[in-house]
Amino acid sequence: MTVMGENTYLDSATTGSSATTGNGHGTLLTPAPLAGGKERWSGDRLPPEIAKDIDHLEDCLHKFLAGELEEESFKITRLNNGVYGQRQQGENMMVRVKLPYGSITAEQFEVLAHVAEDYSRGWGHITTRQNIQFHFVQLQRVPQLLRELAANGMTTREACGDTVRNIEGCFLAGACPYEVLDVSPWAEAAFRHFIRHPYAQRLPRKFKINFSGCTTDCGQAAFNDIGVVAILQPKEDGSVEPGFKVLLGGGLAANPHPAQALEPFTPREALIPTMEAILRTFDHYGNRDNKLRARMKWLVDTMGIDELRERILKERRLLIASTTWVKGIPAVVQAWGDEPAGLGQDQAPTPVGSLEGRTAVSIAGRLTPRQKWERANVVRGTRNGTVSALAWARLGDITADQFRALAKLQRRSGADVRVTNRQNVVFRGLGEDDLAELYDGLVDAGMDRPGAELARDVVSCPGADTCNLAITQSRGLATAIGDALEEAGLAEVDGVRINISGCTNSCGHHHVADIGFFGAERRAHGQPAPGYQMLLGGHIGNTEVHFGQKALRIPAKRAAEAAVKVVGRYASERNPGELFAAWLERSGGAKAVSEELKYLDEFPTPEEAPEFYIDYDETGPFTGEVGVGECAGV
């Protein structure tokens, strides 16, 4: 049943009919369908390739615990299956569940509620790559957890490690008023093609792929190993052909690199072969001797973009000889269709965070809570009349009760639901008359705040709460900033995004935020103290990325005040409809704006203010100790 690298357990979505396949024990089964073309399987009758993965992990686990398998070999095995060690060490594990382009069903929400309660600490966390993470999962229980996920069409395969990671996509794909193509089926095709693909394993370093349906780039293609953006190519007869601009070699971490175009235009039928050619070239020439310089962005630096392009295009020409070559439009794209919801290039794209008619005044005053939510969190398709609505998940966290509430709302509305790269949840394919019931349900679930894309929508990595590499408690700072914005009456200012990482590795995407912070150890009065570097002016658009510029270093306990000062100044000085980046440039840039904040970069003595030497959510003195990383750098 596996054809051209597509994964068997999703084949029914490709063919439009229910798939039947062997279960590895000589019998056949037909899965029960879930929404979105996914399949539910009984836990003891999984498709053979899935069962084999989990059985192999369980066997390796037993050998590791018995001292028969070295730690390094077992670590690679568990990472390739989405199981990541955390700061607390021992048998405490983070399990990362892949949700390709954020797609999720009601049944899967209910399974995640069970996972949160029975395996973790009562809640899950949406990541900036549209995964769901669970922490404090005990190592010996992992195989059973993976079987429960797999039985409901979810996988952790290649969610960590030196593999092709979760395929990310614009959360409004198929519902965006500006898109050129619906990239959802293309992201699905890429997911199916690369999962368990022989070239997707044991790469020089991890490999990330993002899709966007237009040049607004809400899918964040511009800073990934492969970024795919739908565009229109003019033809000689005056018509236009939809296709893609393929970007490559981008990345964040301590040394951010913008992705660069492979060629001006890639036709639809050439997209999957082009992506595989890039991956193969990375596998052949990437640095396997130095993990710190092993990402695709460093291959661009060492080889040069011109030679790299030449090698990739040669690889693509010869790929036809490979058994993994995909001929023409992938079957899932043909089955689902990729017609856009929007008007393409007939209408200039506008970032979701600055939709027409939204200003700080219109959101914050003279409106009911329901009206504020609708102004901030509802998006309407232009061509197909779809209505989408965002549910706000504070810090990307969803409790077991909230998972169940989301499942109930999804069933009632019949919506297509996705998690977003800003750690929220979006209901798509709604009608206007669905909004009232959805809003009431979100009120009951505590997810009704008009938070998506407003100042209070602070994004944070897990930080020192669980991450081995984090220096600071980024989640604690995110809470402090949110509370400070609420108190100052600035939480509902639009056009400004705040992102936080607990170290330089940028898992919180601080480089591409209007206001970004990353954690750093400071020394003051002879003692270590938690601190942050503040950046200003990061943004994405027009298939380009602009990384934030360093503003000033600041004590952790004054970072919230700094954020409030900058948001307040922006709100009071901006012109109508002016985004943060334009205001910042007009105001002299990051250095000029931060000049008036220099007074905040002062540490009182430990005797005067001992709280400055204790991080958020901690009770004892700060230490800048970090553990051994397994997956560092984005």
Quickly state the pLDDT bin for 33 (edges 50, 70, 90). Answer: low
**Which position has the higher pLDDT, 365 or 333?**
333
What mean pLDDT comes out for the span 355-362?
35
Q: Which of 116, 150, 184 is the last residue of a domain?
A: 150
Distance CA 601, CA 555 (A): 6
DSSP result, 609-632: -GGGGS-TT--S---------SS-
Pairing of strands 387-391, 103-104: unpaired
Let me know whether 422 and 464 are in one domain.
Answer: no
Let me know whether 270 and 318 are in one domain.
Answer: yes
Residue 378's H or E segment, with its range, is strand 378-380
Distance CA 87, CA 481 (A): 24
Pairing of strands 209-212, 168-169: parallel
Let me know whether 188 and 316 are in one domain.
Answer: yes
Does 5 have pLDDT greater than 90? Answer: no
What mean pLDDT comes out for the span 531-556?
95
- The candidate with the shortest Cα–Cα distance to 217, out of 256, 178, 160, is 178
Question: Can you give the pLDDT at residue 22?
Answer: 29
Structural domain of 393: 352-381+386-445
Does 525 have pLDDT greater than 60? Answer: yes
Question: Can you give the pLDDT at residue 396?
Answer: 96
Distance CA 631, CA 508 (A): 14
Question: Can you give the pLDDT at residue 87?
Answer: 85
Backbone angles phi, psi at 542, to 5 degrees: 55, 40
What CATH number corresponds to the domain at position 410? 3.90.480.10
- Cα angle for residues 448, 452, 456 (degrees, 5° grid): 90
Secondary structure (3-state) at 224: coil
Dump pLDDT digits (tens) for 387-399. 999 999 999 999 9
Question: Can you give the pLDDT at residue 13?
Answer: 32
Does 240 have pLDDT greater than 70? Answer: yes
pTM for the full model? Answer: 0.90
- The candidate with the shortest Cα–Cα distance to 115, out of 100, 102, 134, 131, is 134
Q: Which amino acid is residue 47, in one-letter code?
A: P
Distance CA 591, CA 597 (A): 10
Dump pLDDT digits (tens) for 401-440. 999 999 999 999 999 999 999 999 999 999 999 999 999 9
With beta carbons less than 8 A apart as the criterion, state whether 296 and 253 touch: no
Kindly state the percentage of the chain with pLDDT values over 70. 88
With beta carbons less than 8 A apart as the criterion, state whether 186 and 271 touch: yes
Let me know whether 15 and 138 are in one domain.
Answer: yes
Let me know whether 110 and 242 are in one domain.
Answer: no
Q: How many CB atoms lie within 10 A of CB 509?
A: 25
Does 497 have pLDDT greater than 60? Answer: yes
Let me know whether 327 and 407 are in one domain.
Answer: no
Backbone angles phi, psi at 603, to 5 degrees: -100, 125
What mean pLDDT comes out for the span 491-504?
95
What mean pLDDT comes out for the span 233-254?
95
Nearest-10 crossing angle of helices 435-445, 400-413: 170
Let me know whether 498 and 605 are in one domain.
Answer: yes
What CATH number corresponds to the domain at position 576? 3.30.413.10
Dump pLDDT digits (tens) for 120-166. 999 999 999 999 999 999 999 999 999 999 999 999 999 999 999 99
What CATH number corresponds to the domain at position 92? 3.30.70
With beta carbons less than 8 A apart as the criterion, state whether 337 and 376 touch: no
Q: How many CB atoms lie within 10 A of CB 385?
A: 10
Does 468 have pLDDT greater than 80? Answer: yes
Question: Can you give the pLDDT at residue 10?
Answer: 37
Q: Which of 406, 421, 445 is the last residue of a domain?
A: 445
Question: What HEC string does 97-166 produce?
Answer: EECHHHEECHHHHHHHHHHHHHCCCCEEEECCCCEEEEEEEEHHHHHHHHHHHHCCCCECCCCCCCCECC
In a domain, 346, yes or no: no
Let me know whether 250 and 274 are in one domain.
Answer: yes
In a domain, 454, yes or no: no
DSSP tag of 171: T
Sign of CA dihedral 80, 83, 84, 90: negative
DSSP tag of 232: E
Does 17 have pLDDT greater than 70? Answer: no
Backbone angles phi, psi at 152, to 5 degrees: -120, 30
In which region does residue 136 sit, left (phi positive, over 0), alpha (psi from -120 to 50) or beta (all else)?
A: left
Residue 66, CA distances (Å) to 85, 145, 523, 619 in order: 19, 21, 44, 37
Which tokens sit at 99? 């949700």
With beta carbons less than 8 A apart as the criterion, state whether 93 and 57 touch: no
Percent helix, strand, coil in the chain, to 5, is 40, 20, 40
With beta carbons less than 8 A apart as the criterion, state whether 529 and 523 touch: yes
In which region does residue 99 sit, left (phi positive, over 0), alpha (psi from -120 to 50) or beta (all else)?
A: beta
Domains of the chain: total: 4
Question: Can you give the pLDDT at residue 383?
Answer: 64
What's the residue count for the chain? 634
Give 332's contacts (C-beta < 8 A, 6+ positions apart).
6, 13, 14, 37, 185, 188, 189, 192
Let me know whether 433 and 492 are in one domain.
Answer: no
In a domain, 281, yes or no: yes
Secondary structure (3-state) at 190: helix
Which tokens sit at 69? 């398998």
With beta carbons less than 8 A apart as the criterion, state whether 451 and 563 touch: no
Dump pLDDT digits (tens) for 82-132. 999 998 888 999 999 999 999 999 999 999 999 999 999 999 999 999 999
Which tokens sit at 235? 């033809």
- The candidate with the shortest Cα–Cα distance to 124, out of 101, 99, 143, 87, is 99
Q: Which amino acid is residue 44, in one-letter code?
A: D
In a domain, 619, yes or no: no
What mean pLDDT comes out for the span 506-523?
97
Which tokens sit at 624? 């800048």
Residue 331's H or E segment, with its range, is helix 331-336
In a domain, 2, yes or no: no
Let me know whether 515 and 432 are in one domain.
Answer: no
Let me know whether 437 and 487 are in one domain.
Answer: no
Quickly state the pLDDT bin for 542 (edges 50, 70, 90). Answer: confident
Question: Can you give the pLDDT at residue 158?
Answer: 97
- The candidate with the shortest Cα–Cα distance to 104, out of 439, 423, 416, is 416
In a domain, 76, yes or no: yes
In a domain, 74, yes or no: yes
- The candidate with the shortest Cα–Cα distance to 251, out of 220, 290, 214, 216, is 220
In a domain, 205, yes or no: yes
Let me know whether 132 and 188 are in one domain.
Answer: no
